Amino acid sequence: MITTPVTADLLRGALELEPTPRGLVPHRLPARARAQNTDPRLAMAEAQPAGVRLRFRTTARTVELDTLATKVEYPGAPPRPDGVYDLVVDGKLAGQATAPGGVRFADLPGHRKDVEIWLPHNELTTLVALRTDAPVAPVPPAGRVWLHHGSSISQGSNAASPSTTWTALAATSAGVELVNLAFSGNALLDPFTARALRDTPADVVSVKIGINVVNADVMRLRAFGPAVHGFLDTIRDGHPSAPLLVVSPLYCPIHERTPGPGDFDHAALASGVVRFRATGEPGDGKLTLEVIRDELAQIVSQREDPQLHYLDGLSLYGPADYAELPLPDELHPDGAAHHRIAARFTELAFGGPFA
């Protein structure tokens, strides 16, 4: 077996690789942004490699990847399953694996092929060693770069595997390179996140805004509008003419007309079931998903920007979808809903303003 150092040219979707005594940690926020963050939940989310994948060209029939995983568990809830690694060969899913210390894929076809290993989207993964039974070479970037920012839904919560999050599925369908800067619980219009989006090369950019602002209860309507304008202004500083799509929240009954903060349903948690609820009281200036959709549509229409577009999240997942494919925890879509959202985003975004 040949050991190949994991370097930036073998990795897609990460902004930085941090050397540690145990291995390399892929980061989805740069060091400058991480230094300005004080929330341990964001530190956790940005180090979970959603959309990050190893990509190389090889004739190897056996591929091994040693990793170390850091898992997150909810107090009182059942242990979360091990993260899934997806093996994609020449664009098609060819294998899946879970393993405490890494993964091994054997009996691959012996021809020269492009191999991707999608890292778990929901657990921090430290890369220790890549081994193959034939040499590997980097694959030149192919296609346009799609840069996306959003919440845990865009990061992939409740998706079946890392290559089947709605963002990964949409990127594959559209033939674009995904850079996923979606952070569970932390799509909160942070200026350092806006600067990371500004400084990341991309051909098309989308920002999905709203659900975390509501369930974290971090601001009122008076602050929300200017914060969105400032967020978009910063992105435009680095992407002055790229198509920029603002996506409003998907349908989520607990927060449609009820403000945050969101919380666990502790009665359900005592029974080992993870479910969320809204705890806020309606009031002047308080944000709900209905309020945010109206505000985002108005903001996009006000800005004199021919390459700025608005996509109503209800067109991706609305009340009828909830009736058919309900949110298992009242907050995040399941695997089937991720596929539906991806198909609709592909049609509405890549068949529309991103075409």
Instruction: Check which CATH number belongs to the domain holding 23 and give it.
Output: 2.60.120.260
Which residue, 137, 153, 168, sits at the end of a domain?
137
Q: Is the domain of 245 the same as that of 294?
A: yes
CA angle 98, 47, 71 (to 5 degrees): 45
Q: The CATH number of the domain where 333 resides is what?
A: 3.40.50.1110
Q: What is the pTM of this model?
A: 0.96
Query: Is 272 found in the same domain as 247?
Result: yes
Assess whether 307 and 195 both reside in one domain: yes
Question: Are 216 and 104 members of one domain?
Answer: no
pLDDT at 79: 77
Amino acid at 242: A
Regarding whether 156 and 131 lie in a shared domain, the answer is no
Which residue do the tokens 């969101």 mark?
Answer: 262
Q: Of 314, 297, 208, 295, which Cα lies nearest the Cα of 251?
A: 314
Task: With respect to residue 95, please indicate whether it lies within any of the assigned structural domains.
Answer: yes
Residues 82 and 206 in one domain: no
Task: Output the pLDDT for position 246.
Answer: 98
Q: What three-state secondary structure class fits 287?
A: coil
Give me the domain span that covers residue 286: 145-350
Q: What is the pLDDT along the chain (355 residues), one digit of tens a residue?
A: 999 999 999 999 999 999 999 999 999 999 999 999 999 999 999 999 999 999 999 999 999 999 999 887 777 777 778 899 999 999 999 999 998 878 999 999 999 999 999 999 999 999 999 999 999 999 988 789 999 999 999 999 999 999 999 999 999 999 999 999 999 999 999 999 999 999 999 999 999 999 999 999 999 999 999 999 999 999 999 999 999 999 999 999 999 999 999 999 988 888 888 899 999 999 999 999 999 999 999 999 999 999 999 999 999 999 999 999 999 999 999 999 999 999 999 999 999 999 9
Whole-number Å distance between alpha carbons of 113 and 218: 48
Residue 310 located in a structural domain: yes
Q: Say whether both 75 and 170 belong to one domain.
A: no
264 shares its domain with 165: yes
Task: Kindly state whether residues 250 and 117 are assigned to the same domain.
Answer: no
Say yes or no: 46 and 162 in one domain: no
Q: Is 182 helix (H, G, I), strand (E, B) or coil?
A: coil
Q: How many domains does the chain have?
A: 2
Residue 355 counted as domain residue: no
